[in-house]
Structure 1
Protein backbone atom coordinates (compact mmCIF):
# COMPACT_ATOMS: atom_id res chain seq x y z
CA UNK A 1 0.00 0.00 0.00
CA UNK A 2 1.23 3.46 -0.80
CA UNK A 3 1.72 5.95 2.00
CA UNK A 4 0.39 9.52 1.98
CA UNK A 5 3.96 10.73 1.39
CA UNK A 6 4.19 8.48 -1.69
CA UNK A 7 0.96 9.97 -3.02
CA UNK A 8 2.15 13.53 -2.32
CA UNK A 9 5.43 12.84 -4.11
CA UNK A 10 3.59 11.53 -7.16
CA UNK A 11 1.23 14.53 -7.10
CA UNK A 12 4.17 16.94 -7.01
CA UNK A 13 5.82 15.10 -9.90
CA UNK A 14 2.60 15.44 -11.90
CA UNK A 15 2.61 19.20 -11.22
CA UNK A 16 6.22 19.34 -12.42
CA UNK A 17 5.43 17.30 -15.52
CA UNK A 18 2.48 19.51 -16.44
CA UNK A 19 4.65 22.59 -15.92
CA UNK A 20 7.36 21.19 -18.22
CA UNK A 21 4.67 20.32 -20.78
CA UNK A 22 3.43 23.92 -20.84
CA UNK A 23 7.02 25.18 -21.12
CA UNK A 24 7.74 22.81 -23.99
CA UNK A 25 4.54 23.35 -25.95
CA UNK A 26 3.73 26.98 -25.25
CA UNK A 27 6.87 28.54 -23.76
CA UNK A 28 4.88 29.35 -20.61
CA UNK A 29 6.12 28.49 -17.13
CA UNK A 30 2.90 27.84 -15.22
CA UNK A 31 4.55 27.94 -11.77
CA UNK A 32 6.36 31.21 -12.52
CA UNK A 33 3.10 32.59 -13.91
CA UNK A 34 1.38 31.95 -10.59
CA UNK A 35 4.18 33.32 -8.40
CA UNK A 36 5.36 36.17 -10.63
CA UNK A 37 8.75 34.97 -11.85
CA UNK A 38 11.20 32.09 -11.80
CA UNK A 39 13.22 33.89 -9.12
CA UNK A 40 10.22 34.46 -6.82
CA UNK A 41 10.39 32.64 -3.49
CA UNK A 42 7.13 30.80 -4.16
CA UNK A 43 8.40 29.48 -7.48
CA UNK A 44 11.68 28.37 -5.95
CA UNK A 45 9.83 26.53 -3.19
CA UNK A 46 7.60 24.71 -5.69
CA UNK A 47 10.57 23.81 -7.90
CA UNK A 48 12.47 22.53 -4.85
CA UNK A 49 9.52 20.45 -3.66
CA UNK A 50 9.10 18.93 -7.12
CA UNK A 51 12.80 18.08 -7.20
CA UNK A 52 12.71 16.52 -3.74
CA UNK A 53 9.61 14.55 -4.74
CA UNK A 54 11.41 13.26 -7.81
CA UNK A 55 14.40 12.12 -5.77
CA UNK A 56 12.14 10.52 -3.15
CA UNK A 57 10.15 8.75 -5.88
CA UNK A 58 13.23 6.89 -7.05
CA UNK A 59 12.61 4.67 -4.01
CA UNK A 60 9.18 3.78 -5.41
CA UNK A 61 10.89 1.98 -8.28
CA UNK A 62 12.67 -0.40 -5.93
CA UNK A 63 9.91 -1.20 -3.46
CA UNK A 64 8.27 -4.57 -3.57
CA UNK A 65 4.52 -4.60 -4.00
CA UNK A 66 2.67 -6.21 -1.10
CA UNK A 67 1.45 -9.73 -1.76
CA UNK A 68 -2.32 -10.05 -1.49
CA UNK A 69 -3.53 -13.39 -0.23
Structure 2
Protein backbone atom coordinates (compact mmCIF):
# COMPACT_ATOMS: atom_id res chain seq x y z
CA UNK A 1 0.00 0.00 0.00
CA UNK A 2 3.04 2.31 0.13
CA UNK A 3 2.65 3.07 -3.59
CA UNK A 4 -0.87 4.34 -2.92
CA UNK A 5 0.38 6.53 -0.08
CA UNK A 6 3.12 8.04 -2.24
CA UNK A 7 0.82 8.54 -5.24
CA UNK A 8 -1.88 10.26 -3.21
CA UNK A 9 0.66 12.32 -1.29
CA UNK A 10 2.08 13.51 -4.63
CA UNK A 11 -1.41 14.49 -5.80
CA UNK A 12 -2.02 16.37 -2.56
CA UNK A 13 1.28 18.23 -2.95
CA UNK A 14 0.29 19.21 -6.50
CA UNK A 15 -2.97 20.55 -5.08
CA UNK A 16 -1.12 22.49 -2.38
CA UNK A 17 1.26 24.05 -4.90
CA UNK A 18 -1.70 24.97 -7.09
CA UNK A 19 -3.52 26.62 -4.16
CA UNK A 20 -0.34 28.49 -3.26
CA UNK A 21 -0.08 29.82 -6.80
CA UNK A 22 -3.73 30.88 -6.70
CA UNK A 23 -3.30 32.60 -3.34
CA UNK A 24 -0.07 34.42 -4.10
CA UNK A 25 -0.35 35.13 -7.82
CA UNK A 26 -3.98 34.43 -8.83
CA UNK A 27 -2.62 31.82 -11.21
CA UNK A 28 -4.38 28.45 -11.51
CA UNK A 29 -1.76 26.09 -12.95
CA UNK A 30 -4.16 23.19 -13.49
CA UNK A 31 -6.64 25.35 -15.40
CA UNK A 32 -3.77 26.89 -17.37
CA UNK A 33 -2.46 23.49 -18.44
CA UNK A 34 -5.72 21.65 -19.06
CA UNK A 35 -8.38 24.32 -19.63
CA UNK A 36 -10.80 26.18 -17.43
CA UNK A 37 -13.05 23.48 -15.92
CA UNK A 38 -12.61 21.03 -18.77
CA UNK A 39 -13.50 17.43 -17.97
CA UNK A 40 -9.82 16.62 -17.43
CA UNK A 41 -9.35 19.57 -15.07
CA UNK A 42 -12.36 18.48 -13.05
CA UNK A 43 -10.95 14.94 -12.80
CA UNK A 44 -7.64 16.33 -11.50
CA UNK A 45 -9.43 18.47 -8.92
CA UNK A 46 -11.55 15.49 -7.84
CA UNK A 47 -8.48 13.24 -7.48
CA UNK A 48 -6.66 15.88 -5.44
CA UNK A 49 -9.70 16.21 -3.18
CA UNK A 50 -9.99 12.45 -2.71
CA UNK A 51 -6.26 12.31 -1.98
CA UNK A 52 -6.69 14.86 0.78
CA UNK A 53 -9.52 12.87 2.32
CA UNK A 54 -7.44 9.69 2.22
CA UNK A 55 -4.46 11.45 3.79
CA UNK A 56 -6.54 12.22 6.87
CA UNK A 57 -5.85 8.59 7.77
CA UNK A 58 -2.15 9.52 8.15
CA UNK A 59 -3.00 11.09 11.50
CA UNK A 60 -3.96 7.70 12.89
CA UNK A 61 -0.96 5.99 11.36
CA UNK A 62 1.48 8.62 12.63
CA UNK A 63 0.07 8.30 16.10
CA UNK A 64 0.41 4.52 15.90
CA UNK A 65 4.04 4.76 14.79
CA UNK A 66 5.01 7.15 17.59
CA UNK A 67 3.73 4.67 20.15
CA UNK A 68 1.33 7.11 21.83
Q: TM-score range by the shorter chain?
A: 0.7 to 0.9
**Equivalent position SS for 1:62:** helix
TM-score normalised per structure 1: 0.86
Ranges of 4+ aligned residues in structure 1 off by more than 3 Å: none
Cα RMSD of the aligned pairs, angstroms, is 1.7
Match of 1:62 among 40, 60, 63: 60
Deviation at 1:65, TM superposition (A): 2.2
TM-score normalised per structure 2: 0.87
Partner of 2:3: 4
Q: Between Structure 1 and Structure 2, which shows a larger proportion of helix residues?
A: 2
Listed as ranges, the gaps of 5+ residues in structure 1 are none
Partner of 2:38: 40
Listed as ranges, the gaps of 5+ residues in structure 2 are none
Q: How many residues align?
A: 65
